Amino acid sequence: MKRNPNTFISYSHDSEELKRIILAFANQLRQQGINCNLDQYEESPENGWISWMEAEIRSSDYVLVVCTEGYTAKLQPGTKSPQGKGVKWEGAIITQELYESEGRNRKFIPVLLHEDDKPCIPRPLKSYTYYILTDTGYEKLYRRLTKQIAIEKPPVGGILEFPRTGKNISNQASTPNLQPKSLSQNIVGNNNIQIGELSMRAGATVRIALLPAPGTIGANHLLKQAMMDRFNKLGEEREKRFGKSAYPVMYSLFKRAFGIKKKRSWTDIWNWPEAAADEITKYLDEKFANTIAGRVESAAQKGRRIPSKGDLFRREKELLAQLDLEISSPKVTNALVKYFGVNSHTKLDSLKHWHWVMYLEELVRQAIGERPSRF
C-alpha cells in the first residue's frame, strides 16, 4: 500500500480570496490521499509559529511554494511588512536547504495559479519544474507527489544480430550487402516523427506507429475529449440498465454503424478526418437521447414539467398491467431496489418516480416489439 506523502504549502496571505483558494487546494489534496498541511489548519502551535514552520518544512516530503507577486515581494531584502514574516522565514529555510544540498532539489516545488505568475517564481527555484494549477497542470503535480510516472521508460531490448560478413573482409567482391532486404516506413503524420514505437529486425520491415496526423479527430485534443465525454456519458447510462456488458455492446454497435471491421478497434476514428466528427457526434447524441437520462435532459430543455404524483401513479398502474405485473410483485420490488435503492414506489420523489414510469414505458415498448426485457 502506498504511503500518503507529507506535503506543506508555503504561500503569502496576499488577500482573503487567495487564502480561500489555497485552503480549497489543500482540502482537495487531502481528499485525494495527500497528507497536506498549511497554517490555516492551526490556530496557535504549541511551540510557536517559527518552530512549527521549520518542523513542517523539515519533515515534509514536498513543499509546494505558491508563487504570487506578494510572495516574491516579501522575500526581497529590505521589505517591511507585518504580515510577511512567515514567508520570509520559510524562504530562508528553503534557501538554506537548497544551499546545503548543493542545488539538488526534489522537495521544493513552485506552483502557479496563473500563467502570468512565472516571473513570481523565487530566484532559487527558477531552474526547477513548476506547475500551473489548470486541469492538466494539477494532474502532473499530483502524479509527481504520488510518484505515478506518466510515461514509462521501456526496458532495453537485446542487441540485433546481423549476418556475418565473411572471413576476408578486404575482398570487396565477397562483401555482402548489409542493407536490409527491404526497408519501408508506414508513417502517420506530417513527415515529422514526433512520438512513436519502432520495431525492427534485420532484413525486416520497419513500422512506426505515430500520433494521429494533423487534421484528424485524434489530433484535435478538444474534439477528441468531446467524443470521449459522449462515449462515457452514453456508456454510464447503458451500464445502469445492462450491467458490465454495456460498454462492449455499445462499441460493437458503433463499429457496425460506421463500418469498422470487427477485428479493428473503435479508436480507429482518431485517424479519421475532422469532417467525420459531426456524423459521429450526431450518432452518439441520438443514442443518448434514447436513454432515461437523455429524455430527462430533453424534457428539461423543452420546458416540460414532471407530471403530478396522481398522474404518475395512474400511468405506473397502466404500464404494470400491460406487463402482467403487480406493484407488490418481487420483480417490481427488486427493480426498485436495483435502480433507485428503495423497496416501494411510495418512497420515490417526483423526479425518480418519473424516471421509473419512463423505464416501464421502455419495457412495454420492448414487449410490443418482441425485444427481450431487461427487467
CA distance 197 to 209: 6
Integer CA distances (angstroms), 112 to 10, 109, 135, 137, 151, in order: 12, 10, 13, 9, 23
For 9, counting Cβ atoms within 10 Å of its Cβ (0-12 exposed, 13-18 middle, 19+ buried), the class is buried
pLDDT tens, residue by residue, 224-263: 888 899 999 898 888 887 887 888 889 999 999 998 888 8
pLDDT at 191 (0 to 100):
40
**What one-letter code names the amino acid at 360?**
L
Is residue 326 over pLDDT 60?
yes
Q: Write out the DSSP string of 243-304.
A: GGGHHHHHHHHHHHHTT--TTS-GGGGGGSBGGGHHHHHHHHHHHHHTSHHHHHHHHHHHTP
Is residue 149 over pLDDT 50?
yes
Higher pLDDT, 351 or 266: 266
C-alpha cell at 127: 531552474
Average pLDDT, stretch 179-206? 42
Q: What percent of the chain has pLDDT over 70?
A: 79
pLDDT at 310 (0 to 100):
81
pLDDT at 7 (0 to 100):
95
Lowest mean pLDDT, pick from 28-37, 58-67, 166-175, 351-360: 166-175
Average pLDDT, stretch 287-298? 77
pLDDT at 364 (0 to 100):
80
Which SS3 state, helix, strand or coil, does residue 176 take? coil
CA distance 174 to 170: 9
pTM: predicted TM-score of the whole model, two decimal places: 0.44
Average pLDDT, stretch 19-26? 91
The count of C-alpha atoms lying within 13 angstroms of the C-alpha of 32, restricted to the half-sphere facing its C-beta, is: 14
Which SS3 state, helix, strand or coil, does residue 328 take? coil
Average pLDDT, stretch 203-218? 62
Helix axes 350-368, 292-302, angle to 10 degrees: 120
Query: Distance between alpha carbon 165 and the CA centroid of its chain, in Å?
Result: 53
pLDDT at 179 (0 to 100):
45
Instruction: Write down the residue that cell numbers 494533423 correspond to.
Output: 214
CA distance 325 to 364: 12
pLDDT tens, residue by residue, 93-143: 787 887 787 778 888 999 999 888 899 898 888 888 999 988 788 989 999
C-alpha cell at 243: 450491467
Of these ranges, 67-81, 95-109, 151-165, 274-288, the one predicted with the greatest mean pLDDT is 274-288
